[in-house]
Amino acid sequence: MTVGEAVMTVALADSLFLSISPDAARGRVILFLALSLAPFAIVAPFIGPLVDRMRGGRRLVVILAASLRAAVSFLMIGRIDSLTLFPLAFAALVLSKTYSVSKSALVPTVVPKERELVDANSKLGLLSGLIGFAAAVPAAIIQLISPNFTLGLSAAAFIAAVISAWHLPRDVRIAREPRSRAEIEELRSKRVRRAVAAMRLMRALVGLMFFHLAFWLRDQKAGTVWFGFAVSLAAMGTMTANAIAPIIRRRIREESMIIGALAATGIGGFICTWIGGVTGGVVLVALVNAFAATCKLAYEAVVQSDAPDANRARAFASFETQFQLAWVGAGLVPVVLDMPGEFGFFVVGLVGCVGTLLFVLRMRAARRSRGGRATTRARRSRPA
């Protein structure tokens, strides 16, 4: 799937963002981003629980997503300059996010030990980044011949993904029974909710920067080259974070990692605003993706340690849906508003710093609340 994603991105880089006028592009992107919310906002709450209880339900979703991605790639061949490319491109986006949700649900079911969950996600992220980066190089060469050849290669990669998906566990049911009271209480604990809120914010910033850079670079010299370089740096940033974050997590608490990721994003946003220009934008998109990957591993560790009675596969699938909604929602902002480059960087810095402040205040409030309850219990236990 990663190879197919990378190759398709190369194939559509010029046509999707740079072959039509900015005003026309914004209108179409707004429409199809809005439509892409439907599977997560409507379908997931109804179909998700049913699929969770089916034998091999998540495996079936992965197979269908890969099969449909292959079909979409074939349908794109010969339509690079056609208006029909846009519904196909955003159908590919929806299928990509559907696969992402299913993968998050499947990982806990195939990892033998719970304490290995974060390391497994880290290795998956690192491997995906390396494979995607490696696949983009030959795809770029083939793109010089014809984008249709690149799309054919993408379709072949997705067919290979279908074959691989057949080997996933068949007997896994994500949710064998309704949620217990303990599971609900654990997933609604203040620590888990803070971690989920931080991750939701970071995923929103990733979506914001992607679409802001995509449209802003259209007006810059060598916009296509810079956008490709930015995507490559973002992938490298994510890979680096996936490699380093597990080591950091062994040395500091998860909440410290989240605070560090939010604060670093805010500071990075202000620094890149000061740097300005294409350089500032390219550096910032790499930083945002790297710190989002760091935050993701910390959030997963919080859920893992604070919700021992929860069905983590079901929980991660639910949370991932929220994160994708945040990604799409924030991505609409730079599409609707024509923002100068530095203003977008400033927004990232401001949101990162405000998010850090809110996270710290909520954490301190929770500690004071626990301290107050402990004092009350101690007073009540004293003899009269």
For the domain 1-167, what is the CATH code? 1.20.1250
Q: What is the mean pLDDT of residues 354-364?
A: 93
Q: Greater confidence, 25 or 187?
A: 187
Residue 309 has pLDDT above 60, yes or no: no
| pLDDT the model gives residue 354 | 96
Q: How far apart are CA 18 and CA 78, in angstroms?
A: 17
Token reading at 108: 């806990």
Topology match between the domains 1-167 and 181-384: yes
Q: How far apart are CA 91 and CA 68, in angstroms?
A: 9
pLDDT digits (tens, 9 = 90+) for 69-111: 889 888 888 777 676 777 787 778 777 777 776 776 667 666 6
Token reading at 250: 């062994």
Query: Model confidence at 221, in pLDDT bands (50, 70, 90)?
Result: low
Residue 28 has pLDDT above 90, yes or no: no
What percent of the residues of the chain are helix, what percent strand, and what percent coil, each to the nearest 5?
A: 85, 0, 15
Mean pLDDT taken over the chain: 76
Check residue 78 and give left, alpha or beta (phi > 0: left; psi -120 to 50: alpha): left
- Asked whether the beta carbons of 245 and 297 are under 8 A apart, the reply is yes
DSSP state for residue 217 in the 8-state scheme: G
| pLDDT the model gives residue 258 | 93
Q: What is the mean pLDDT of residues 286-309?
A: 83
- Asked whether the beta carbons of 267 and 288 are under 8 A apart, the reply is no
pLDDT > 70 fraction of the chain, expressed in percent and rounded:
66
Token reading at 113: 């030990």
pLDDT digits (tens, 9 = 90+) for 238-261: 888 888 877 887 788 888 999 999
SS3 81: coil
Query: Model confidence at 60, in pLDDT bands (50, 70, 90)?
Result: confident
We find that the CATH architecture of domain 181-384 is: Up-down Bundle (1.20)
- Asked whether the beta carbons of 196 and 279 are under 8 A apart, the reply is no
Token reading at 286: 């790499």
**Lowest-confidence segment of 230-244, 273-287, 326-340, 361-375 by average pLDDT:** 361-375
Query: Model confidence at 195, in pLDDT bands (50, 70, 90)?
Result: very high
Q: Which residue ranges make up each domain of the chain?
A: 1-167, 181-384
Residue 43 has pLDDT above 60, yes or no: no
Q: What are phi and psi of 138, to 5 degrees?
A: -65, -30
| pLDDT the model gives residue 21 | 53
Check residue 86 and give left, alpha or beta (phi > 0: left; psi -120 to 50: alpha): alpha
Cα dist. 105→124, 131, 177, 198 in Å?
14, 22, 16, 20
**Lowest-confidence segment of 2-16, 116-130, 198-212, 335-349 by average pLDDT:** 2-16
